[in-house]
């Protein structure tokens, strides 16, 4: 499979933005090429940030930091302003508006469809099976040559389960399309990452984020792991300086603190198990789905009533009950111990 054959013509012929520092391969010396402020910056609380200068467009610092931490080669990495930016860029690289199509097996994360809608790219909704696994036959039936991307999420939001690796790889093998696997919640599952498969499948893209396990939703940093062909196109279309120096500074500091991330994950999984057992024991709760993520999908008789009651106590949960296969379901994030105690008390009170 040739990735180039899937890329839009205007992207293939695009001449990307270049800076004078690319041409001279230097960002030192007397820099009078980018109309920056040579006098300094108005934000000086952290020395060494040099916020008057544009950050490295090649993301080499980020590739080093994250590549070393997760043992991923630099050529396989690309960083975006959250994974949401990467989702949008991938659609723009591969999908001709008003012509190409995207398959979204659901119920799943709502941003995939929103990003397609913004780009005027038609989405084909295919349902997951009753156990929220991929229905390969249903996808095959809806597939046509204009389908450029299939979006998968594992562990899936909002159902919490990992997708079967075998099914994902079947899609990679069977279809001449980009297969995206969003691993936003992979830290909360014991196994299941597909990053080792990128060497076997040129059309596979793994999405990751620092917004969940790392507790960095505020810095807006996501990344993807894929083959150099795809990574090169992402660099071609991104805004030159998409990742800010402040975000890079926060990431560097956070990676030194990875022990804390690991202890967050451990505590969240422990609390997830505790809440699962508590809710499962309660009459009034129809079902608590097993979760490999940092939330639980919980089925009630009257989810609107439960949601309203909780909101009355200042507890906000996500109502997913209007989506196909999710009737009755609320999605509840795992909070800290105290928050989970309060939630449990209130749910007990409702029933
Ligand atoms: C939370 C979440 C993300 C994270 O998006 P960012 O833009 O990186 O904050 C990505 N995918 C899914 C499925 C999510 O639930």
Q: What is the 3-class SS of 198-237, one letter each residue? A: HHCCCCEEEEEECCCCCCCHHHCCEEEECCHHHHHHHHHH
Rg of the chain taking only CA atoms, in angstroms? 22
Residues 249 and 264 in one domain: no
- pLDDT at position 22: 79
Per-residue pLDDT at 19 exceeds 90: no
Is 154 part of any domain? yes
- pLDDT at position 48: 84
The string of pLDDT tens digits covering residues 45-76 is 888 899 999 999 999 999 999 999 999 999 99
Residue with CA at minimum distance from ligand 1 atom 10: 184
> What whole-number distance in Å separates Cα of residue 166 and Cα of residue 179?
14
In this structure, is the dihedral angle defined by the CA atoms of residues 228, 229, 232 and 234, taken in order, positive or negative? negative
> What whole-number distance in Å separates Cα of residue 144 and Cα of residue 103?
10
Confidence of residue 203 (pLDDT cuts 50, 70, 90): very high
Residues 212 and 118 in one domain: yes
- pLDDT at position 231: 98
Cβ atoms within 10 Å, residue 97: 14
> 3-class secondary structure for 28-68?
CCCCCCCCCCCCCCCCCCCCCCCCCCCCCCCCHHHHHHHHH
Per-residue pLDDT at 25 exceeds 80: no
Per-residue pLDDT at 6 exceeds 90: yes
Is 178 part of any domain? yes
| CATH number of 190's domain | 3.40.640.10
Distances (CA, A) of 61 to 206, 217, 244: 20, 20, 12
Q: Which residues pair with 333 in a beta bridge?
A: 295
Is 43 part of any domain? no
Residues 194 and 265 in one domain: no
Residues 218 and 327 in one domain: no
- pLDDT at position 47: 80
Q: Which residues pair with 79 in a beta bridge?
A: 223
Per-residue pLDDT at 27 exceeds 80: no
Q: Are 230 and 91 in contact (CB under 8 A)?
A: no
Residues 248 and 142 in one domain: yes
Residues 280 and 137 in one domain: no
The DSSP call for residue 53 is S
Is 346 part of any domain? yes
Is 71 part of any domain? yes
- pLDDT at position 263: 98
Domain stops at, among 205, 240, 255: 255
CA of 209 to the centre of ligand 1 (A): 6
> What whole-number distance in Å separates Cα of residue 310 and Cα of residue 227?
46
Domain span at 139: 3-19+54-255
Per-residue pLDDT at 18 exceeds 90: no
Residues 106 and 174 in one domain: yes
Residues 110 and 229 in one domain: yes
Residues 62 and 177 in one domain: yes
DSSP percent split of the chain into helix, strand, coil, nearest 5: 40, 15, 45
Q: What is the mean pLDDT of residues 117-121?
A: 98
Residue with CA at minimum distance from ligand 1 atom 2: 184
Residues 71 and 215 in one domain: yes
CA of 208 to the centre of ligand 1 (A): 8
Task: Please give the mean pLDDT across all residues of the chain.
Answer: 96
Binding pocket residue ranges, ligand 1, CB within 6 Å: 82-84, 109, 153, 157, 182, 184, 209, 211-212, 217, 222
CA of 179 to the centre of ligand 1 (A): 17
Helix ranges restricted to H, 95-239: 111-118, 136-142, 165-174, 228-237
Give the β-pairing of 285-288 and 101-106. unpaired
CA of 186 to the centre of ligand 1 (A): 11
CA 291 centroid distance within chain = 17
Is 40 part of any domain? no
Phi-psi region of 177 (alpha: psi -120 to 50; beta: other; left: phi over 0): beta
Domain stops at, among 255, 289, 321: 255
Q: What is the mean pLDDT of residues 149-168?
A: 98
Domain stops at, among 220, 255, 290: 255
- pLDDT at position 155: 98
The string of pLDDT tens digits covering residues 213-266 is 999 999 999 999 999 999 999 999 999 999 999 999 999 999 999 999 999 999
Number of structural domains the chain divides into:
2
Residues 130 and 226 in one domain: yes
| CATH number of 321's domain | 3.90.1150.10
Confidence of residue 147 (pLDDT cuts 50, 70, 90): very high
Per-residue pLDDT at 293 exceeds 80: yes
Residue with CA at minimum distance from ligand 1 atom 6: 82
CA of 83 to the centre of ligand 1 (A): 6
> What whole-number distance in Å separates Cα of residue 46 and Cα of residue 254?
16
Is 328 part of any domain? yes
Nearest to 6 by CA among 152, 202, 275: 202
Residues 245 and 310 in one domain: no
- pLDDT at position 94: 98
- pLDDT at position 226: 98
> What whole-number distance in Å separates Cα of residue 249 and Cα of residue 276?
37
Is 59 part of any domain? yes
């Amino acid at each position: 499979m040739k990735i180039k054959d899937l890329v839009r013509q205007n992207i293939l012929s695009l001449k990307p933005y270049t800076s004078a520092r690319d041409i001279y391969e230097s960002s030192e010396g007397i820099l009078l090429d980018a109309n920056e402020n040579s006098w300094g910056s108005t934000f000086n609380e952290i020395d060494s940030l040099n916020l008057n200068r544009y950050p490295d467009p090649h993301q080499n610092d980020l590739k080093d930091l994250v590549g070393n931490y997760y043992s991923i080669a630099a050529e396989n990495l690309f960083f975006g302003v959250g994974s949401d930016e990467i989702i949008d860029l991938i659609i723009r690289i591969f999908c001709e508006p008003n012509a190409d199509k995207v398959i979204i097996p659901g119920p799943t994360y709502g941003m995939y469809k929103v990003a397609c809608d913004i780009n005027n790219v038609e989405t084909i909704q295919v349902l997951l099976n009753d156990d929220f696994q991929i229905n390969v036959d249903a996808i095959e039936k809806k597939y046509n040559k204009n389908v450029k991307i299939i979006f998968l999420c594992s562990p899936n939001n909002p159902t919490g389960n990992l997708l079967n690796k075998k099914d994902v790889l079947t899609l990679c093998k069977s279809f001449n399309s980009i297969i995206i696997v969003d691993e936003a919640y992979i830290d909360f599952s014991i196994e299941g990452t597909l990053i080792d498969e990128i060497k076997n499948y040129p059309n596979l893209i793994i999405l990751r984020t620092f917004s969940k396990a790392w507790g960095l939703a505020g810095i807006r940093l996501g990344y993807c792991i894929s083959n150099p062909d795809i990574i090169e196109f992402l660099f071609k279309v991104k805004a030159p300086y998409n990742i800010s120096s402040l975000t890079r500074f926060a990431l560097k500091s956070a990676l030194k603190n990875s022990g804390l991330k690991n202890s967050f994950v451990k505590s969240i999984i422990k609390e997830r198990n505790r809440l699962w057992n508590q809710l499962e024991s309660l009459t009034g709760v129809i079902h608590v789905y097993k979760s490999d993520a940092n939330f639980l999908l919980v089925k009630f008789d009257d989810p609107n009533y439960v949601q309203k009651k909780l909101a009355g106590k200042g507890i906000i949960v996500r109502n997913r009950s209007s989506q196909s296969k999710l009737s009755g379901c609320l999605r509840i994030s795992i909070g800290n111990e105290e928050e989970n105690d309060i939630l449990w008390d209130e749910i007990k009170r409702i029933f």
